[in-house]
Amino acid sequence: MHVMNAIKLILLCLLPFAMASCMDTREEVVVKKDGSGTLVMKTDMGKMVEMMKSFAGDSDLQKQGLDKPFDTTMLLKSYVDTAKDIPTDKKAALRDGKLHLILNVKENIGKFDMLFPFKSGEQLALLYESMGSAAGGLKGMMGNKGPEAAQQTDDKGLPQITSVYDITLKNGVYSRKVNKERYDAFTQVMKLDQLKQMSSMLGAMNYTFVITLPQPIKKSSNAKATLSADKKTATLSADLLEAFEHPELLELELEY
Domain that holds residue 192: 3-255
What's the mean pLDDT in 214-225?
Answer: 98
Span 81-129, pLDDT tens digits: 888 878 889 889 999 999 998 989 889 898 989 999 999 999 999 998 8
What's the mean pLDDT in 54-65?
Answer: 75
Task: Give the amino acid at 210.
Answer: V
Q: Per the structure, how many domains does the chain have?
A: 1
Span 8-57, pLDDT tens digits: 555 555 555 554 555 788 999 999 999 999 999 998 988 878 877 777 77
